[in-house]
């Protein structure tokens, strides 16, 4: 017995203050298997998009209260809605109108009167691009999460070798273990940065604010960073021995770890 998984029909939001235009587009798109909703103006369009995120928006330019450009700017300023592809449909043919549409975040611009087959081809293209983008993001998230656990285990075992079994190792082996541990920690740091960027883009970044002694944190990072070429090292020259701030300690630590790594790479490339 076999079963097939069918994706739901794409949900398209049509925004136009002319009922005849809405009815025409809705009928044509529904016949092609799409789900459609409509909004007669910008404010209602934003409410509809927030109530149920559409897969694509067809947006008129000339509307009362809020024109299409303003609506698109509001969409792009919303972390949840910013990735929705917006296709402008307008009777305005001037190049400046098209340029402005792209500048505020539109992915395409179709002029009225339009040929439905052309519009449908553009809708298909941008839905496909968005689906591929989502698949890429999902794959990245999965790979990044899957990498974190084994790297954490590796760091733990290397830490045991370096600090608890050090007397059993030769000096050269201890050096190799230290380099391996730092490299694994660098990878963990990179993974954390990738996840942070993804969360920021999705508007899901939550800061864990707590008191932090900034100079002490920086010194800890510098003590664990790789030495620079020619036996040089990074040091902290601070006027205050202690400076308590409120911050996300994990994020601040990664910032200084990245800075230390960048300094090492710059000096290595200059050799």
Q: Are residues 199 and 162 in the same domain?
A: yes
Instruction: Indicate whether 121 belongs to any domain.
Output: no
Residue 94 sits in a domain of what CATH number?
3.40.50.2300
Q: At what angle do helices 19-31 and 116-163 cross, to 10 degrees?
A: 70
* Residue where a domain stops, chosen among 153, 185, 205: 205
Instruction: Choose one of 161, 182, 205: the last residue of a domain.
Output: 205
Q: Given this model, what pLDDT does residue 70 score?
A: 96
Quick check: is 1 in a domain?
Answer: no
The structure's pTM equals 0.61
Look at residue 242 in the predicted model and tell me its pLDDT.
Answer: 82
Residue 5 lies in a domain: no
Domain assignment present for residue 224? The answer is: yes
Give the closest residue to 109 by CA, choosing from 101, 121, 117, 118.
101
Residue 139 sits in the same domain as residue 160: yes
Q: Is residue 137 part of a domain?
A: yes
- The parent domain of residue 251 ranges over 207-271
Q: 184 and 270 in one domain? A: no
Check if the beta carbon of residue 65 is closer than 8 Å to that of residue 43: yes
**Are residues 110 and 16 both part of a single domain?**
yes
- Phi then psi for residue 92, to 5 deg, are -80, 120
Q: Do 108 and 15 fall into the same domain?
A: yes
Distances (CA, A) of 191 to 13, 138, 201, 208, 251: 36, 15, 16, 18, 12
SS3 110: strand
pLDDT tens across the length of the chain (271 residues): 444 446 689 999 999 999 999 999 999 999 999 999 999 999 999 999 999 999 999 999 999 889 999 999 999 999 899 999 999 999 988 999 999 999 999 999 999 888 999 999 999 999 999 988 888 777 777 777 777 888 888 888 888 887 777 777 888 888 888 888 878 877 887 777 777 766 666 666 677 888 988 888 888 888 776 665 566 667 777 777 788 888 888 778 878 877 877 776 655 555 5
DSSP-derived pairing of the beta strands 108-111 and 86-90 = parallel
Residue 119 within any structural domain of the chain: no
Domain boundary among 60, 83, 114: 114
Q: In this structure, is residue 126 part of a structural domain?
A: no
Residues 246, 181 share a domain: no
pLDDT, residue 3, reads 44
Domains of the chain: total: 3
């Amino acid at each position: 017995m076999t079963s097939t998984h069918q994706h739901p029909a794409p949900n398209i939001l049509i925004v136009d203050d002319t009922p005849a235009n809405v009815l025409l587009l809705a009928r044509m798109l529904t016949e092609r298997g799409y789900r459609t909703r409509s909004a007669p103006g910008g404010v209602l369009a934003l409410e509809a998009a927030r109530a149920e995120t559409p897969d694509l928006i067809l947006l008129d330019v000339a509307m009362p209260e809020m024109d299409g450009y303003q609506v698109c700017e509001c969409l792009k300023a919303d972390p949840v809605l910013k990735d929705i592809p917006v296709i402008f449909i307008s009777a305005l043919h001037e190049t400046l109108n098209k340029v402005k549409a792209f500048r505020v975040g539109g992915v395409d611009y179709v002029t009225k009167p339009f040929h439905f087959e052309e519009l449908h081809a553009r809708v298909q293209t941008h839905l496909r691009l968005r689906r591929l983008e989502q698949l890429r993001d999902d794959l990245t998230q999965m790979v990044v999460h899957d990498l974190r656990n084994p790297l954490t285990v590796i760091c733990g075992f290397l830490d045991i070798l370096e600090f608890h079994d050090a007397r059993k190792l030769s000096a050269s082996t201890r050096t190799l273990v230290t380099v391996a541990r730092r490299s694994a920690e660098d990878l963990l740091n990179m993974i954390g940065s990738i996840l942070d960027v993804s969360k920021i883009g999705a508007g899901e970044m939550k800061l864990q604010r707590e008191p932090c002694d900034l100079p002490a944190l920086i010194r800890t990072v510098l003590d664990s960073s790789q030495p620079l070429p020619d036996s040089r090292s990074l040091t902290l020259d601070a006027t205050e021995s202690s400076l308590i701030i409120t911050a996300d300690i994990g994020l601040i630590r990664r910032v200084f770890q990245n800075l230390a790594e960048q300094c090492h790479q710059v000096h290595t490339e200059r050799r």
